[in-house]
Chain A
């Protein structure tokens, strides 16, 4: 276990080093800090002096080391937009994103496992085919479009009248497929402060309603992938010899499906889950943009639009760190669940 963690730590440091190099290279070449700090009227000579004083003319390596030293102390400079240390800005926006991601993950886990397993056990049932069908459609709709459609359906509301409205059944059917809207689709509403910069949407029912549309949008793009994956893996596992043997032993089907088969199925799913963290971050940016959800994604977008370079690279570093941590965690979990992977030093 220790050996594993040390190896991963080394790997993590290496990746963070590469990311920091890239981040610094971006900072060095984009935008002019002097321009952001002083007004237009300041003459060039003074700017040059300032540049010299701030060490902006030093060689690349020196500047990088300075940057790295500061980074290790979590000092990434000041955001241009907010005029606060970037770390503070990020901390302020982090809870919103974390809550959104948490809600989305819960949705994904709660839905993908039963649907995936069912589709594998009864592949020809019409319900399975239906799920597979909407999975393909789901993958084809970009997340921001799903978000927009959900807003139209549930926040604004649609009135459909394809059926003859004069008849009783026609009116009833029309009513059925008409939506009233009313779901909140802008921002977080009134999250309840918990501690520090953390304000939560989970405290009140009203707070939860603000989470619904964004979480469903975000889940909608990741669900099809997991459903298809679980189904494919489970189908393969159900053909394996050990499942046949378990049946020959007289084990109940329920135990076979949910212990013998599922445990083997979830292994590659865990790995895939780790790989999808990156896409989740990207999709979060898009979703927060649509719903104006005040999380890190929206903050990043604003930073890009207004060329707030310190904030951009702080975001990159933090995201890099999150990736490294989650990837290590996923590998750890996988090693704990899969007995054929030797995490510990125990001899066979």
Chain B
């Protein structure tokens, strides 16, 4: 059984005008030490998926259905007190903006020691020693001095290193990184990402990387899922999806990369924009922007407009697309014909 098993996760927001569904039927799993990427536009639900793992979705959000199994235990049933033992300890998180993530009025040392002491009965001196070791691991210069410094005294890159160190403090099984390099200078992004990758490999720590950057995903993750309007629309090995995307949306994303454009011509855009969660189109949420609703012969694929697509397995990937389903059906070789 996988270390982390998410099945049919449903997350809703209870607003005054009714419930809005933020995550619909999201399923994925993570083996020990595996690295998974979650990709999508802003508002697709990536962060909601990440926060829901540790039940940290801000009210009025709540988990409406589905299961999250971690190391055999069901997380959705657990009380906040029980979950606290998982948070920061077995599963830790890295947020996007290192300046906002660290409390400005507490020293770095305080914020690291408190994390250790919240989960283990150790003395402050021991906690400081462990913190120092972790700071060295993230390659911060003069780590001993940092413990007594305050967040505003460090640069953005250094702060994010501190946060990575905090995430590693209790030797977690999984790190959930929500856009960890988006807020950093471009020059630092690669460094931080490389550091994170190295540490995860070295200590066999699983990584769930949430990002909109396909380049990073292709370099760091082994498997990925693509999200759109609260649903997973394609998932599978990263290499395969990047090289041969099957869902029209994923294809659009890949084609939109600057390196895929022909020099001198316009960049490839996906027309339109992602719908807001309280105003989803019928059927497949992507169909208003999809170029494949109409078949090559001019007929319309009614299913795209009327039915929410289910998952079909295509090779090692799972795709939620009527067109792909149709293609697979047509390509299916009758048993008698296989030689």
Contact A247 B101 (CB under 8 A): no
B contact residues around A240 at 8 Å (CB): 100
Q: Say yes or no: is A42 at the interface (Cβ < 8 Å to chain B).
A: no
Closest-by-CB residue of A relative to B103 is A242
Contact B84 A244 (CB under 8 A): no
Using known A-B contacts A241-B95, A255-B114, A348-B153, determine if residue A249 contacts B166 with beta carbons closer than 8 Å.
yes
Can you name 20 A-B residue pairings with CB atoms under 8 Å? Answer: A241-B100, A242-B102, A244-B58, A245-B101, A248-B93, A248-B95, A249-B166, A250-B86, A250-B88, A250-B115, A250-B119, A251-B84, A253-B80, A255-B114, A255-B118, A263-B103, A339-B105, A339-B152, A340-B105, A348-B153
Q: Mark A224-252, 1 if CB is under 8 A from B, else 0.
A: 00000000000000011110111111111
Q: Say yes or no: is B267 at the interface (Cβ < 8 Å to chain A).
A: no
A contact residues around B101 at 8 Å (CB): 241-242, 245
Q: Say yes or no: is B97 at the interface (Cβ < 8 Å to chain A).
A: yes
Contact B84 A260 (CB under 8 A): no
Using known A-B contacts A242-B101, A249-B166, A264-B105, determine if residue A340 contacts B85 with beta carbons closer than 8 Å.
no
* Docked CA distance A96–B87 (Å): 55
* Docked CA distance A245–B85 (Å): 15
Contact B54 A246 (CB under 8 A): no
Contact A248 B88 (CB under 8 A): yes
B contact residues around A244 at 8 Å (CB): 56, 58, 95
A contact residues around B152 at 8 Å (CB): 339-340
Q: Specify which of B85, B87, B89, B102 is in contact with A247 (CB 8 Å cutoff).
A: B87
A contact residues around B93 at 8 Å (CB): 245, 248
* Docked CA distance A244–B107 (Å): 17
Contact B103 A264 (CB under 8 A): yes
B contact residues around A279 at 8 Å (CB): none
* Docked CA distance A338–B151 (Å): 12
Q: Say yes or no: is A153 at the interface (Cβ < 8 Å to chain B).
A: no
* Docked CA distance A162–B152 (Å): 62
Residues of B at under 8 Å CB distance from A? 54, 56, 58, 80, 84-89, 92-93, 95, 97, 100-107, 114-115, 118-119, 150, 152-153, 163, 166
Contact B115 A340 (CB under 8 A): no
* Docked CA distance A339–B102 (Å): 13
Closest-by-CB residue of A relative to B55 is A247
* Docked CA distance A338–B58 (Å): 28
* Docked CA distance A263–B150 (Å): 14
- Which residue, of B85, B88, B105, B166, has the highest number of chain A Cβ atoms within 10 A? B105
Contact B150 A339 (CB under 8 A): yes
Q: Interface SS of chain B: helix, strand, loop or mixed?
A: mixed
A contact residues around B95 at 8 Å (CB): 241, 244-245, 248
- Which residue, of B58, B80, B115, has the highest number of chain A Cβ atoms within 10 A? B115
**Least distance between B50 CB and chain A CB atoms (Å):** 10
**Least distance between B137 CB and chain A CB atoms (Å):** 18
**Least distance between A125 CB and chain B CB atoms (Å):** 14
B contact residues around A338 at 8 Å (CB): 105
B contact residues around A251 at 8 Å (CB): 84, 88, 114-115, 118
**Least distance between B207 CB and chain A CB atoms (Å):** 15
* Docked CA distance A260–B151 (Å): 14
In the complex, which range does the number of interface residues on chain A fall in? Answer: 20 to 34
* Docked CA distance A267–B150 (Å): 16
Contact A264 B118 (CB under 8 A): no
Contact A248 B92 (CB under 8 A): yes
Residues of A at under 8 Å CB distance from B? 239-242, 244-253, 255, 259-260, 263-264, 267, 337-340, 348
Contact A247 B100 (CB under 8 A): no
B contact residues around A339 at 8 Å (CB): 104-105, 107, 150, 152
B contact residues around A337 at 8 Å (CB): 105
Contact B105 A249 (CB under 8 A): no
Closest-by-CB residue of B relative to A249 is B88
A contact residues around B100 at 8 Å (CB): 240-242
A contact residues around B104 at 8 Å (CB): 242, 264, 339-340
Closest-by-CB residue of A relative to B85 is A250
A-B pairs with lowest CB-CB distance, top 6: A250-B88, A249-B88, A241-B100, A250-B87, A248-B93, A242-B103
Contact A263 B105 (CB under 8 A): yes
**Least distance between B59 CB and chain A CB atoms (Å):** 10
* Docked CA distance A240–B100 (Å): 7
Contact B92 A340 (CB under 8 A): no
**Least distance between A241 CB and chain B CB atoms (Å):** 4
A contact residues around B119 at 8 Å (CB): 250
B contact residues around A348 at 8 Å (CB): 153
**Least distance between A30 CB and chain B CB atoms (Å):** 49
A contact residues around B89 at 8 Å (CB): 250
- Which residue, of A247, A337, A348, has the highest number of chain B Cβ atoms within 10 A? A247
Closest-by-CB residue of B relative to A255 is B114
Using known A-B contacts A241-B97, A242-B102, A339-B104, determine if residue A248 contacts B56 with beta carbons closer than 8 Å.
yes
Contact A263 B106 (CB under 8 A): yes
**Least distance between A233 CB and chain B CB atoms (Å):** 13
B contact residues around A245 at 8 Å (CB): 93, 95, 101-102, 163
**Least distance between B331 CB and chain A CB atoms (Å):** 45
* Docked CA distance A249–B101 (Å): 11
Contact B103 A260 (CB under 8 A): yes
* Docked CA distance A260–B115 (Å): 13
**Least distance between B228 CB and chain A CB atoms (Å):** 25
Closest-by-CB residue of A relative to B153 is A348
**Least distance between A235 CB and chain B CB atoms (Å):** 13
Known: A241-B100, A248-B92, A250-B84. 5 other contacts (CB 8 A): A248-B56, A251-B114, A263-B106, A264-B105, A339-B152
* Docked CA distance A229–B299 (Å): 64
- Which residue, of B86, B102, B107, has the highest number of chain A Cβ atoms within 10 A? B102
Contact A340 B150 (CB under 8 A): yes
A contact residues around B118 at 8 Å (CB): 249-252, 255
**Least distance between A150 CB and chain B CB atoms (Å):** 39
Closest-by-CB residue of A relative to B84 is A250
- Which residue, of A242, A247, A248, A348, has the highest number of chain B Cβ atoms within 10 A? A248
A contact residues around B103 at 8 Å (CB): 242, 246, 260, 263-264
